């Protein structure tokens, strides 16, 4: 059995290469099934966020090439970009998987160090895979270890204190463009977790108006109403786009919703007043061609990297503490896994001993029923049970001695906690 993961993230690839590998939530089950069916994978969990796509899996096949199944699955997501993407893929096996996933869950591998959203995204990915039958003993053990350890590491290292997120950095970037927010209108495209965070950070700017556009009008209302905003559907975007000075987009779409033609028409109605657009979508919500318009300040996830670097410097000490905690947790996990290797043998040994005990006890009870004294029955029980329990090990040790397998004899002395042979021998045994 081999645990493996294959992935691509923001450390190695820009948005343009992460984009074709992004898997929307409604396609998770289909892609997990494709991974399972095509490669003989027994278990799989898919993690796809704005910064990474990673497939975690367990397989008993191709153990000499544990990453082959994941690489093949990943390439089939974006065959047209294969040459660009393949050299950027990374893979880990066994304990390397545990170490990487724990770093991700603790926020150490994020674009914004310590951001808390990733742990929730991992939990959602695990739950979806588990509910649909893609998680067995191997991945269950891995993810439960990570959930527990990540929570403890975040708490003890302080890396989760005063959390900074992509959403907060996005709003901070907008503050560098405008300073008269009470006169400005913000438009949020999408109503998921990211937009909820953006909305919370915008609240402190006391904007004039907030508009939320989403496929589900009800979800848009739920996000807009607490701040006195109003909701529209995505189809209504062209009619309201000209009202927005700040646009934050993170809807789960397969094609850009803001095209050059749509934005150009809105700019004309705005009399070419400048507009800030933060595209947090993956795939992107805004056509890259929009960036050529002089009135538009268009930013993507890639543009947040400089702000993220500042964040990493500020959190360096907490990150160092967290990294050390990760290594300790992985070492303890490795010992636990090694201990589990002995479990089947221990269970089999106990079952054999219990079977022998039950048989010998029944014989001793039979002696009592036939009139033997309790002392005789107890002597029979102790003597017979002892001989039966040590018979097979004794035979195996004699054969090992005859065959010159001294290592087995030494292992037996260590296993049973025996001292030097001359000290253990009874005088009767030497006669």
Supply the residues annotated as catalytic.
50
- Picking from 197, 192, 223, the residue whose alpha carbon sits closest to that of residue 210 is 223
- Picking from 177, 210, 178, the residue whose alpha carbon sits closest to that of residue 196 is 210
Q: Are 88 and 5 in contact (CB under 8 A)?
A: no
φ, ψ at 5 (rounded to 5°): -145, 150
Cβ neighbours of 176 (radius 10 Å): 10
- Picking from 143, 142, 141, the residue whose alpha carbon sits closest to that of residue 126 is 143
The answer, yes or no, to whether the previous bond of 14 is cis (omega within 30 of 0) is no
Q: Are 299 and 269 in contact (CB under 8 A)?
A: no
Tokens representing 7 are 């992935």
DSSP string across 40-76: --SEEEEEE-SSEEEEEEEESS-TTSTTHHHHHHHHH
As a whole number of angstroms, the distance between CA 218 and CA 109 comes to: 34
Q: Are 105 and 147 in contact (CB under 8 A)?
A: yes
- Picking from 249, 247, 212, the residue whose alpha carbon sits closest to that of residue 233 is 212
């Amino acid at each position: 059995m081999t645990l493996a993961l294959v992935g691509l993230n923001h450390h190695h690839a820009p948005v343009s290469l992460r984009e074709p590998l992004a898997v929307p939530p409604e396609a998770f089950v289909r892609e997990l099934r494709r991974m399972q069916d095509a490669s003989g994978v027994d278990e799989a969990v898919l993690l796809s966020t704005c910064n990474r796509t990673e497939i975690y899996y367990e397989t008993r096949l191709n153990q000499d090439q544990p990453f082959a199944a994941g690489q093949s699955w990943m390439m089939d997501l974006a065959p047209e970009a294969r040459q660009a993407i393949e050299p950027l893929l990374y893979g880990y096996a066994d304990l390397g998987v545990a170490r990487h996933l724990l770093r991700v869950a603790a926020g150490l591998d994020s674009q914004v160090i310590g951001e808390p959203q990733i742990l929730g995204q991992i939990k959602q990915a695990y739950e979806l895979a588990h509910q649909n039958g893609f998680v067995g003993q191997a991945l269950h053990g891995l993810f439960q270890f990570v959930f527990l350890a990540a929570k403890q590491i975040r708490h003890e290292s302080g890396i989760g204190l005063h959390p900074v997120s992509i959403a907060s950095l996005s709003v901070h970037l907008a503050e560098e463009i405008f300073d008269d927010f009470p006169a400005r209108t913000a438009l949020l495209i999408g109503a998921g977790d990211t937009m909820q965070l953006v909305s919370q950070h915008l609240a402190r700017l006391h904007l004039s108006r907030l508009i939320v556009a989403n496929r589900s009008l009800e979800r848009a209302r739920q996000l807009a109403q607490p701040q006195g905003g109003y909701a529209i559907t995505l189809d209504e975007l062209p009619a309201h786009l000209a009202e927005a000075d700040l646009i934050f987009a993170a809807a789960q779409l397969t094609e850009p919703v803001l095209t050059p033609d749509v934005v150009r028409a809105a700019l004309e109605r705005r009399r070419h007043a400048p507009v800030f657009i933060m595209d947090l979508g993956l795939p992107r919500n805004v056509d890259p061609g929009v960036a050529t318009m002089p009135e538009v300040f268009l930013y993507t996830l890639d543009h947040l990297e400089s702000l993220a670097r500042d964040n990493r410097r500020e959190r360096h000490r907490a990150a160092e503490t967290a990294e050390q905690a990760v290594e300790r947790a992985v070492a303890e996990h490795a010992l636990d896994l090694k201990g589990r290797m002995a479990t089947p043998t221990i269970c089999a040994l106990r079952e054999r001993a219990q079977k022998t005990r039950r048989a010998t006890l029944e014989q001793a009870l039979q002696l009592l029923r036939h009139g033997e004294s309790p002392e005789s029955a107890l002597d029979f029980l102790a003597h017979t049970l002892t001989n039966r329990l040590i018979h097979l090990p004794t035979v195996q040790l004699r054969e090992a001695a005859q065959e010159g397998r001294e290592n087995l004899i030494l292992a037996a002395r260590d296993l049973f906690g025996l001292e030097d042979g001359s000290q253990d021998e009874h005088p009767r045994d030497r006669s």
